[in-house]
A and B are shown apart, each in its own frame.
Chain A
Amino acid sequence: MENRKVSPKEIIESYNGRHLRIMEVCGTHTHEIFRLGIRKIVPESIELISGPGCPVCVTPVGYIDEAVMLSLDIGAVICTFGDLIRVPGTEMSLAVARSKGAVIKTVYSPIDAVEYAQENPDKKVVFLAVGFETTAPAACLAIKKAKEAGLTNFTILGANKTMPNAYLALKDSADAFLYPGHVNAIAGTAVCEQLVKEGVSGVVTGFTASELLTALAVVIQLTKKGKPFLVNCYPRVVKPEGNVPAQKLMNEVMEPCDAEWRGLGIIKGSGLKLRTAYSDFDARLRFNLPVITGKSNPECCCGNVLQGKCRPSDCKLFGTGCTPQHPVGACMVSNEGSCSAYYQYGGNFNG
């Protein structure tokens, strides 16, 4: 820094160095960056890329097909976070399945699904477990509760994911990551320190205007030095060790597995599945689901958007064939999705 104290905003606005690609991997960051108008103050040489940080967006088409099959063919009651209902599957979304008689309940916590199963012992209740380290502990807690209560009518359709291997898979797409503060609040910072050794740079980032601007300014300043780095810019919430009880719980109930990410394909060790001791609660095993490979609309660019290879507005469906009211790709469904954020905050208006 110079002698005078320079604000993060000034550092960002005055940046005139080489082209810099900064990827945020949290849906809430995507949303806040738009809401605060940060893209408007960032110079052209800085490219802000919205990565695969929205749990709904990275859920593959085949997963929706599995949920549709569970509801329509097996007659299960599907309990899910609301956003997932409108994500298109190969043939239909859960919303369409509902119009054909499927029972789909919106829940706000996996525990609600367990309680529903307890109150309705005659119904087969399946919770759609999507989400990262932030939501996986709640799913694990639900499984433990169901086991303690001896429930035989509750299962989950698992698609929980973890971020570390996704960063490695995406390391050539960005010069630095804005790490999702709430994921780090659970997982801690050790994983990101490990990534520094692999040449991956990033800053753990909070969600207020000043936290986001500070994180961007830190990335700008440290990239100039040319060495991989990690800085925790969200220390009021993120501790190096993370949330140990939540980690223990996840570790007790789930174990790593390979997982398919929409647009990115299979990433080794980036998923979570139930451990053998809890496999009774796995809907795929319980109902003997066949392996389903989904097919997305070939014109949809969600996959490239998630990797930062193109902007949402570069997709020819954007804003015409694909809108938040009639989404084609998952990134347009969720409020946290980058296509939805581009569309809602006026795409071109924000650049």
Chain B
Amino acid sequence: MDKIVTLAHGAGGKQTSELINRIFKAHFSNPDLTADDAAVLPVEAGNIAFTTDGFIVSPYEFPGGNIGKLSICGTVNDLSCMGAKPLYLSCAFVIEEGFPMEKLEQIAVSMEKTAKEAGVRIVAGDTKVAGKGQVDNIFITTTGIGHIMEGVNTSGKLAQPGDAVIVTGDIGRHGCTILLSRDEFGIDAEITSDCAPLWGITEKMFETTKEIHVIRDATRGGVGTVLYEIAEQSNVGIRLDTEKIPVAGEVSGVCGMLGLEPLYLACEGRLVVFVPKEIAPAVIEALHGSPYSKNAAIIGEVISDMPGKVVMKTAIGSQTLLPQPGGELLPRIC
């Protein structure tokens, strides 16, 4: 097989079949993935959740994962947030001409492994090859269908005063990993992305209680952005206890040097969860049983004052507003 992806691999002929057979079918094979134009899937009773996400991360490989793993986790986690057991995924690749075949296979292997872990089947796909310079290495779009568990109703509109705010692990890892991987700062630190499929821990939470009001995955924009979205959607205030927010030492070190706020760095394996205060300890206990959420913590509460705002209890016992960043994150210069 060719060592690099060429325009011929996207032309629909013999080389396209070869690429599909050798890479995608070899790793994604399952009874629902057929050669027909569309997958035929059984319909279950109840409601389905349906979502899509595009992935264009640069670099496409980073400590703790690659774009393939990310593309499965992103969609699986979006479904999980709605209380939906992820069932089926489609994936569409746009590959830059000249992309190494070996790397493409590594990406497919990661997708296979992550999908298996999440219990989801890849049932449809598409491959396009774009000319050199038209895309940055490889772009992937995944679309997913999940079956919403009975008795579950989560939404960003459902946060209520008296809810505890939980994060399922230390924050800012993915954003920090990507920043350092771009090698623009000359900083070396042992940080790996938190990228992980989270249906497992979501299911555990729902086994503990169905009374979960909100679940969001804190991806682009980080936990801070998610909290502001929920404060606005539910028209409530959120008070954070800054001392309780789990941040790995390496991440806070890098943020300290560059003047960045970990609350605004992306996570790819962390959920923000709103549950009534009384149930929160049981949820935390359930989360601590999984390696993906062993550092889960209650970081704040929903209040009826200051609707739409996120305030922080600071290290000196004072209170301040969590600032909302605009534009791109910039390291400070003094």
Contacts and interface: CB of A to CB of B under 8 A. Distances in A.
Given A344-B323, A344-B324, A350-B320, A36 B334 contact: no
Contact of B316 (A36, A335, A336, A350): A36
Nearest to A35: B320
A40 B334 contact: no
B330 interface: yes
Contacts of B323: 34-35, 341, 344-345
Nearest to B258: A108
B314 A209 contact: yes
B161 interface: no
A54 B320 contact: no
A37 B327 contact: no
A134 interface: yes
B125 to A, nearest CB: 37
B334 A132 contact: yes
Contact of B332 (A40, A130, A336): A336
Interface residues on A, range: 35 or more
A130 B315 CA distance: 33
Given A36-B320, A40-B319, A135 B314 contact: no
A55 B333 contact: yes
A83 interface: yes
B316 A82 contact: no
- Which of A37, A38, A86 has its CB near the most chain B CB atoms (within 10 A)? A37
A28 B318 contact: no
Contacts of A132: 334
A276 to B, nearest CB: 28
A346 B186 contact: no
A40 B321 contact: no
Grouping DSSP codes into helix (H, G, I), strand (E, B) and loop, the B interface class, with mixed when no group exceeds half, is loop
Interface string A92-136: 000000000000000011001000000000000000001110110
Contacts of B312: 37
A27 B326 CA distance: 18
Contacts of B184: 108, 112
B331 A40 contact: no
B330 A82 contact: yes
B321 A345 contact: yes
A216 B325 CA distance: 28
B334 A345 contact: no
A40 B313 CA distance: 11
A9 interface: yes
Contact of A349 (B321, B324, B326): B321
A108 B334 contact: no
B328 A36 contact: no
A41 interface: yes
Contact of A213 (B259, B316, B319, B325): B316
Contacts of B328: 82
A41 B315 CA distance: 12
A132 B324 CA distance: 27
Contacts of A3: none
B314 A37 contact: yes
B216 to A, nearest CB: 22
A189 to B, nearest CB: 19
Interface of B: 184-186, 259, 309, 312, 314-316, 318-321, 323-328, 330-334
